[in-house]
Structure 1
């Protein structure tokens, strides 16, 4: 079953009752004019076990420790946003698997050659998916990208990822004047940043659920980054976010702000349809298959990570 993503952009009280998330609006709670039965009817409950991601995007949200405990016990990810509504914090469970210690050890003991081979698979999949998005969205020539994908060597020593990215971004948003892909760049960089933050949370959650440390990457190793492995494994999934943002630009123009409507579209990322293992699946479910296969690679049961194909 696909887990739900809950977004809270207004002041709200979040509490726990009988394993249910209780959602109350303070404006209604404090309004003495409204009848008591109306106040009770305005209360909404959601089963905690059905929730995969919670996004907190308002400084006046009140959430109890009981809610946080229940969410984390059910392997949910909790995202907090800054004053610009950009995701700034991520809370994940410490223990997401019954054989956690054993899995940590296998991840820690992974050899350098194995990690380089896994990175090779990751970048090949990413470039192939980028090529498919570019071809679908713009009808651009992608033969060179297919060649680069096939030429990726163990560890990507030739940095074909960067070469493909330069070609990809130049073509995907060619109609957006002055666009370059950079975190503080012009729109739609803001939409891409937001979408990637949601994707990162989904992947980090999947890694924890599979009993892996999201901090220890197979390629990324920035000592200030707590989610290096999540940043590695999300790479082949980024093109799905890119395609979604491309569609929003086509509909609304390039000078987009992160309005509630735009964020609502970006929060559909967990339910985007992807193809993995020859079958259609929601992105969040596919990520779980990817992270499970990654553990099996560390364990020696598999030699390849299961990534989505476009």
Structure 2
């Protein structure tokens, strides 16, 4: 079942009652000019088991400890946003799998050659999907990217990921005059703001799936940053990033460059649809959130020796 993503951008009081999330909207409930029938819509319930991600994007959102506990028990991810509406925090359950300690050991004991091979597969899948997105966005066949994909070695010792990324970002928006020479930078000009938002949602989806598969999202196969609690999530999300890039490209085409300087409600809605975006994995069409779970399940089976290849989607 596809889990729902709930976004709260207005004041709200969130609590738990009889296994349901109770959503109270004070702006509606306290409005004396509204008829009673409409006031009743100021309180909504959602089944806890249907929720996968909760985004809190208003300083006047209150959430009870009981609801937090219930959400984490069902492996939900909770994202908090700053005053610019950009995601800054992620809460995940500590225990997401019944045999978690055994899976931790398999992950920790993974050999360096295995991790290098898994990173090679990850980089190849990322470049492959970047190439497909470039073809979609530019209408041209990108032969050098195909060549770089085929040339990736174990551990990507030649840093073809970086070479491909430099070309990718220089090319993807080349048809948009204002973005000539665009570079990817978290603090850079738009559409970096849209990319940051989309990647944060994707990161939460991947981290949640890793915990559900019984792995530590902190221990990466390639990323190793002492200040990063989600190194493995950052590794595994790499081949999924181009799906976000394609959505951002479509938003620029639809709204125009001058209208993406600030994230609007409509843009957030499109980016919050990332978990339900259709992808092709193992030859079958699947929502991205379900595909990520297949990816993380296959990753663990690589750690315990059952498989030799991670299942990644293809655009």
TM-score, normalising length: structure 2? 0.96
Superposed CA deviations along residues 4-46 of structure 1, whole A, max 9, x for unmatched, are 0000000001011111111111123344666766544431110
Equivalent pair of 2:9/2:58 in contact (CA under 8 Å)? yes
Structure 1 residue 136, shift from structure 2 partner: 1.2
Superposed CA deviations along residues 34-64 of structure 1, whole A, max 9, x for unmatched, are 6766544431110010000000000000110
Are 1:294 and 2:299 counterparts? yes
Superposed CA deviations along residues 134-182 of structure 1, whole A, max 9, x for unmatched, are 0111123411111100110000000000111111111101122452111
Equivalent pair of 2:5/2:54 in contact (CA under 8 Å)? yes
Query: The residue matched to 1:309 in structure 2 has which SS?
Result: coil
| Moved >2 Å (runs of 4+) | 27-42
Are 1:280 and 2:285 counterparts? yes
**Structure 1 match to 2:213:** 210
Query: The residue matched to 1:155 in structure 2 has which SS?
Result: helix
Are 1:180 and 2:190 counterparts? no
Corresponding residue to 1:248 among 245, 248, 251: 251
Equivalent pair of 2:240/2:313 in contact (CA under 8 Å)? yes
Corresponding residue to 2:204 among 201, 204, 209: 201
Corresponding residue to 1:259 among 264, 267, 276: 264
Please give the root-mean-square deviation of Cα atoms over the aligned residues, in Å: 1.3
Equivalent pair of 1:90/1:201 in contact (CA under 8 Å)? yes
Are 1:270 and 2:270 counterparts? no
Moved more, 179-188 or 90-99: 179-188
Query: The residue matched to 2:156 in structure 1 has which SS?
Result: coil
Query: The residue matched to 1:199 in structure 2 has which SS?
Result: helix
**Structure 1 match to 2:164:** 164
How far, CA to CA, are the matches of 2:38 and 2:12 in structure 1?
17
Query: The residue matched to 1:182 in structure 2 has which SS?
Result: coil
**Structure 2 match to 1:124:** 124
TM-score, normalising length: structure 1? 0.97
